[in-house]
């Protein structure tokens, strides 16, 4: 089902929002400040990674004419993982299926991005503690390997 969306003076036809989605899976062992930081990093990273037009964004206008711009047309679901290895398995599945994703590990916490890149380069993948992953793709495909996670509350 397609939905018409008023954007400016032209009508845009949007795809069915149930066919694709963003899914973030966060390690439940983090405090709320770190959790929000990780979610922010992986979300903006994934948005920048996607080819132009793959994700759809819409503007909302309130009754007073104020614009609330560029919100995702597709659902953004946040799930929780019990530990790093569960996120690692999701990452492996995303890689094997060619699904767009970004992830965040413990080596990306201290110092600026240059220091974090060095720390990551000096750490074997098996020793990385995964704090989060964000994926974008077809709902049916993502559900095959993310349905076992519960909503982050």
Q: What are 94-131's pLDDT values in tens digits? A: 999 999 999 999 999 999 999 999 999 999 999 999 99
Q: What would the mean pLDDT of 77-93 be, rounded to a whole number?
A: 98
**0.85 cut: is pTM over it?**
yes
Domain ranges for the chain = 3-145
Indicate whether 24 pLDDT > 70: yes
Instruction: Classify residue 65 by burial, with Cβ atoms within 10 Å: 0-12, 13-18, 19+.
Output: exposed
Residue 76: name the closest of 20, 1, 6, 132 by CA.
20
Helix (H) or strand (E) holding 133: strand 130-138
CATH level 3 topology of 3-145: Bit1 (3.40.1490)
Q: Please enumerate in sequence order all residues whose Cβ is within 8 A of that of 146, keeping only pairs 6 or more positions apart, or say none.
A: 23, 25, 79, 90, 135
């Amino acid at each position: 089902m397609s939905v018409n969306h008023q954007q400016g003076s032209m009508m845009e036809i949007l795809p069915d929002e149930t066919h694709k989605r963003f899914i973030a899976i966060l390690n439940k062992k983090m405090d709320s400040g770190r959790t929000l930081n990780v979610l922010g990093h992986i979300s903006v990273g994934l948005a920048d990674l996607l080819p132009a037009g793959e994700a759809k964004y819409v503007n909302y206008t309130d009754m007073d004419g104020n614009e609330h711009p560029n919100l995702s047309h597709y659902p953004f679901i946040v799930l929780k993982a019990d530990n790093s290895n569960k996120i690692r398995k999701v990452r492996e599945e995303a890689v094997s299926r060619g699904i767009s994703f970004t992830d965040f590990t413990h080596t990306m916490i201290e110092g600026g991005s240059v220091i974090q890149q060095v720390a990551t380069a000096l750490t074997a993948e098996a020793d990385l503690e995964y704090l989060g992953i964000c994926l974008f793709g077809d709902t049916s495909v993502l559900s095959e390997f993310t349905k076992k996670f519960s909503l982050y509350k």
